[in-house]
C-alpha cells in the first residue's frame, strides 16, 4: 500500500483501542512498535502464564484480540489496514505488522469501533433473556470471516457434557498448587492497571486463600451451574494449533465479541476443558468441531452494566522507532 504521507495518522489512538482488548488473567501481554504508517504487534512474554498457558496459546489469542482492535480503530479513523502475519515464522516475539493507508471510502469495520470500550467479560449470571438466533448467526459468520469456527452447543446433551467438562477441569486446575499460585499472583488491586482486580484491602487475604486451599469442589459446582444456565454455550475452534491459528482465533474472538456488543450481548469464558490437555479432545468431540477447540464461551444478555477492568498506561505498552 502507498500511504499518503501528507497527514500522519494518530497511531496512539489505535494503541489505546488495542489496549482495551481482553486477555487471559488480564495480563495484557502485548507491546506495540509505532513505525509511521505501520504498527508492529509483539508478544510481551514476561507477562506469560507458564502454568495456565504453557504454550503461550492464550497469550497469542489475547494478542490477536488486540490486533483486531487496531484494525477496527484504524477503520474508524479512515485507515485501511493490511495485516502481515509474522507469528510462527520464527521464535521471535514479533507477531504481526499492520500496514496502514488512507481509505478512499468509508470502511464497514468502522461500525464496530464504539463497541471496543463497551465490551466486558461478564462472569455473572446472564439475564433470563434468549439470544436472538439471527444474532448467533452473525457471531458464527464473524468468526468464520477471521478464519475460525464458532460452534453453538445446541443439544442438551452437548450443554450438559460441556458443563461436566468445566467442572472436571476446575477440579484438575485447582488441585495444582502451582496453578493456584499463578492465579494468586495475578490478583491485583485496581490501581495496578492489570490482573484480576479485587478491592485493595481484600488482595492479601484472597491471595493467601487461593494459594493455600484447593477450592476446586466449590468452584466446579458454581461454574457447572453457570454453564448449565447460560443462554448460549459455544466453542471457538481453528483448523490447526499453531501460533498463526491462535492469532486468527484472537481476531475471530474479538470480532464476534464486538459484533455481540452491538446486538446487546456479552460473553465470558469457561476455558477449563481447553486448559486441561486431557479434556481438550473431549470438548472437540462433544462439539463436533473439525479442528482443535481454543475457547469455550458463554454468551448472553448481561443482567446489569459492568465496570471496565483496568488497563496498563499506554507508555508501558508502546515502543517507539
Ligand atoms: C484467551 C483468553 C482467555 C480467557 N480465559 C478466561 C477464563 O478462563 N476465565 C475467565 O473468567 N476469563 C477469561 N478471560 C477473560 C479475561 O479474564 C478478561 O478479558 C480480563 O480480565 C479483562 O477484562 P475485560 O474482558 O472485561 O476487559 C479470557 C480472555 C482471553 C482473551
Identify whether 56 is part of a domain.
yes
pLDDT of residue 2 exceeding 60, the answer is no
pLDDT, tens digit, for every residue of 271-304? 999 999 999 999 999 999 999 999 999 999 999 9
CATH code at position 59: 3.40.109.10
Q: What is the pLDDT of residue 1?
A: 52
Please list, residue by residue across 255-281, b when 16 or more beta carbons sit within 10 angstroms of its beta carbon and e when fewer do: bbbbbbbeeebbbbbbbbbbbbeebbe
Percent over 90 (pLDDT), the chain: 82
Identify whether 149 is part of a domain.
yes
Q: What is the pLDDT of residue 181?
A: 94
**All cell numbers assigned to 158:** 452437548
Domain termination residue (choose one: 70, 87, 118) = 118
- Looking at residue 226, the DSSP 8-state letter turns out to be H
Task: Of 133, 73, 84, 155, give the one whose Cα is nearest residue 265.
Answer: 133
Instruction: Give the contacts of 243 (CB within 8 A, at least 6 positions apart).
Output: 56, 60, 87, 88, 95
Nearest alpha carbon, ligand 1 atom 12: 269
pLDDT, tens digit, for every residue of 203-250? 777 777 777 887 777 888 888 888 888 889 999 999 999 999 999 999
Minimum-distance ligand 1 atom for the alpha carbon of 62: 31
Identify whether 202 is part of a domain.
no
As for ligand 1, residues whose beta carbon falls within 6 Å of it are 22-26, 58, 61-62, 65, 120-121, 123, 196, 268-269, 271, 309
Whether residue 137 sits in one domain with residue 227: yes
Is the overall model pTM greater than 0.85, yes or no? Answer: yes
Whether residue 36 sits in one domain with residue 168: no
* CB distance 293 to 239 below 8 Å: no
pLDDT, tens digit, for every residue of 16-41? 999 999 999 999 999 999 998 999 99
Whether residue 251 sits in one domain with residue 154: yes
- What range does the domain containing 256 cover? 133-175+214-300
Amino acid at each position: 500500500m502507498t500511504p499518503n504521507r501528507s497527514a500522519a495518522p494518530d497511531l496512539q489512538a489505535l494503541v489505546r483501542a488495542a489496549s482495551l482488548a481482553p486477555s487471559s488473567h488480564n495480563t495484557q501481554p502485548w507491546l506495540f512498535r509505532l513505525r509511521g504508517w505501520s504498527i508492529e504487534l509483539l508478544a510481551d512474554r514476561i507477562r506469560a502464564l507458564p502454568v495456565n498457558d504453557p504454550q503461550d496459546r492464550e497469550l497469542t489469542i489475547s494478542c490477536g484480540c488486540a490486533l483486531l482492535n487496531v484494525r477496527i480503530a484504524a477503520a474508524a479513523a479512515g485507515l485501511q489496514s493490511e495485516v502481515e502475519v509474522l507469528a510462527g515464522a520464527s521464535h521471535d516475539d514479533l507477531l504481526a505488522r499492520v500496514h496502514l493507508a488512507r481509505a478512499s471510502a468509508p470502511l464497514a469495520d468502522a461500525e464496530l469501533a464504539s463497541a471496543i470500550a463497551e465490551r466486558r467479560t461478564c462472569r455473572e449470571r446472564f439475564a433470563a433473556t434468549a439470544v436472538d438466533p439471527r444474532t448467533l448467526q452473525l457471531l458464527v459468520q464473524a468468526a468464520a470471516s477471521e478464519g475460525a469456527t464458532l460452534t453453538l452447543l445446541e443439544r442438551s446433551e452437548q450443554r450438559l457434557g460441556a458443563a461436566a467438562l468445566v467442572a472436571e477441569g476446575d477440579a484438575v486446575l485447582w488441585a495444582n498448587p502451582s496453578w493456584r499460585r499463578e492465579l494468586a499472583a495475578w490478583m491485583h488491586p485496581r490501581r495496578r492497571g492489570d490482573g484480576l482486580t479485587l478491592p485493595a484491602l481484600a488482595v492479601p487475604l484472597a491471595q493467601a486463600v487461593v494459594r493455600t486451599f484447593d477450592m476446586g469442589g466449590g468452584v466446579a459446582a458454581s461454574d457447572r451451574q453457570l454453564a448449565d444456565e447460560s443462554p448460549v454455550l459455544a466453542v471457538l475452534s481453528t483448523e490447526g494449533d499453531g501460533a498463526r491459528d491462535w492469532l486468527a482465533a484472537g481476531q475471530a474472538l474479538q470480532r464476534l465479541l464486538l459484533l455481540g456488543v452491538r446486538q446487546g450481548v456479552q460473553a465470558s469464558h469457561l476455558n477449563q476443558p481447553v486448559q486441561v490437555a486431557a479434556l481438550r479432545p473431549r470438548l472437540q468431540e462433544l462439539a463436533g468441531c473439525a479442528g482443535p477447540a481454543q475457547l469455550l464461551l458463554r454468551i448472553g444478555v448481561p443482567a446489569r452494566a459492568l465496570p471496565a477492568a483496568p488497563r496498563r498506561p499506554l507508555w508501558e505498552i508502546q515502543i517507539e522507532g
